[in-house]
Amino acid sequence: MRQAGRSLPEYRAIRGVGTILDAIAQPELAAEITLQPVRRYGVDAAILYSDIVVPVAAIGFGVDVKPGVGPVISEPFRSRADLARLRPLEPELDTPYVLETVRILTGELAIPLIGFAGAPFTVASYLVEGSPSRTYQHTKALMHEDPALWFELLDRLADLAVASLRSQVAAGAQAVQLFDSWAGALDPHDYEHFVMPASRKVFEGIADLGVPRIHFGVNTGELLGLMADAGADVVGVDWRVPLDAGRERVGPSIAVQGNLDPAICLASWDVVEQAALRVLDRNGGRPGHIFNLGHGVLPETDPTILERLVELVHGYQGPARS
Ligand code: CP3
């Protein structure tokens, strides 16, 4: 459950006043924040406390993460000259704190640690727009008006993701997730033509590591088949697509992850329980289902609801018979 920590008082108590990038740069703190939701909820895997913009920030692109807003960039990527601001990532030199956090965690955790990176499209959307966007108009304009530059940008971002993911796995991460959170802004044609080749490059670039590769997006109902074809072992399905329909779209050899609506978790337990059981029943007991929320935990979520949710999923015995 991504960003599960944000709803916890113990997170707010130790997070400090700086930006999240400052917190991520402190391995002991980042490891402790990663462990908090694991201890509280008893989930089956941990996700590293970091952010998708860490590699681009580390090579000096000029990125900050504004609380309540997300990544902001003072000088967005708009022309060929900006390519010079995207040099290759040297993880041991540029993000040693991330690797130290992974090492601390691998020593302490009894469950797998999921490392992650931002997918080329989603990171590009922040670099090009300069801040979170609803329309992705600058990103789409670049893609369609200067495809050669677009492909070079995505290629560099794919290389950054590969370097970052490989370093996290070398440090001990046992699974990886590629976050293409905003790919759902595209139609299947544009996704396949302008985005999928770069995401495929990321999956191919880590295939030899032998760790499960999860491909995540939101609003991606029409893209699920393509996201599976990009090279994932697991595809995230958000709550708009019933899990069994999502499974049909990704095909029989791919596992699914999802897909309770995080906003449901703000409701009373009875409502959450019924909605969670609907998700589990839709899976129908088939192997290859990672139960989680379709997107991150909302900060207002009551932690006791999430405690009960984990208990419910762990105790699930299959559809009730009538
Ligand atoms: O779940 C976790 O806590 C693990 C670490 C994690 C964070 N960001 C920490 C974070 C992960 C896996 C991410 C990925 C991430 N970052 C994505 C992809 C996943 C998704 O949710 O779609 C995206 C799009 C980002 C960019 C980003 N960073 C956004 C949109 C925000 C939210 C801004 C806000 O405050 O609502 C951030 C900040 C951020 N990253 C927070 C956390 C815990 C919250 C702010 C903070 O504590 O400072």
* pLDDT recorded at residue 164: 98
Residue 1 has a pLDDT of 65
Confidence (pLDDT) at 114: 98
* 6 catalytically annotated: yes
**What is the pTM (predicted TM-score) of this model?**
0.96
The amino acid occupying position 248 is: E
> Of the listed 11, 51, 159, 233, which one is catalytic?
51
- Calculate how far, in angstroms, residue 239's C-alpha sits from the geometric centre of ligand 1: 19
Ligand 1 centroid vs 66 CA: distance in angstroms? 10
Q: Give the residue ranges of the chain where pLDDT is below 70.
A: 1, 321-322
Q: Is the dihedral of CA 214, 218, 223, 224 positive or negative?
A: positive
Q: What span, in angstroms and rounded, lies between the C-alpha atoms of 227 and 240? A: 16
> What residue's CA is closest to ligand 1, atom 45?
67
Evaluate whether 192 touches 155 at the Cβ level (below 8 Å): no
What is the reported pLDDT for 156? 98
> CA 256, CA 58: separation in Å to the nearest integer?
32
**pLDDT of the residue at 122:** 98
Q: In the prediction, which pLDDT does 320 show? A: 75
Residue 150 Cα to ligand 1 midpoint, Å, equals: 25
Query: Which residue minimizes the CA distance to atom 38 of ligand 1?
Result: 70
In the reported structure, the alpha carbon of residue 177 is separated from the centroid of ligand 1 by a whole-number distance in angstroms of 14
Q: Which CATH architecture has domain 2-315?
A: Alpha-Beta Barrel (3.20)
- DSSP string of 241-296, one letter each residue: S-HHHHHHHH-TTSEEEEEE-GGGGGS-HHHHHHHHHHHHHHHTT-SSEEEEESSP
- Return the H-helix or E-strand segment holding 178: strand 175-179
- What CA–CA distance (Å, rounded) separates 95 from 275? 40
Question: What SS3 class is residue 2?
Answer: coil
Closest ligand 1 atom to 24 CA: 9
Give the residue among 160, 153, 164 at the shortest CA–CA distance from 84.
Answer: 153
Nearest CA to ligand 1 atom 3: 3
Query: Which pLDDT score, from 0 to 100, does residue 7 have?
Result: 85
Position 6 scores a pLDDT of: 82
- Number of helices (H) and strands (E) in the chain: give both, helices first: 15, 9
Nearest-CA residue for atom 36 of ligand 1: 68
Residue nearest to atom 29 of ligand 1 (CA): 70
Q: CB of 67 within 8 A of CB of 39? A: no
87: left (phi over 0), alpha (psi -120 to 50) or beta: beta
The DSSP output letter for 49 is S
Per-residue model confidence (pLDDT) at position 17 = 85
Catalytic, 2? Answer: yes
Instruction: For strands 70-73 and 113-118, give the pairing.
Output: unpaired
- Alpha-carbon span 115 to 223, nearest angstrom: 23
In the reported structure, the alpha carbon of residue 94 is separated from the centroid of ligand 1 by a whole-number distance in angstroms of 20
**pLDDT attached to residue 319:** 85
Amino acid at 34: T
Establish whether 249 is a catalytic residue: no
DSSP-derived pairing of the beta strands 255-260 and 289-293: parallel
Q: How far is the CA of 317 from the centre of ligand 1 (A)?
A: 33
φ/ψ (deg, to 5) at 34: -65, -40
The two structure tokens encoding residue 232: 């994932």
* Whether the Cβ atoms of residue 48 and residue 102 lie closer than 8 Å to each other: yes
Q: Which residues line ligand 1 (CB under 6 A)?
A: 2-3, 5-6, 15, 20, 47, 49-52, 65, 67-71, 116, 179, 181, 295-296
Q: Report the atom number in ligand 1 closest to the C-alpha of 5.
A: 3
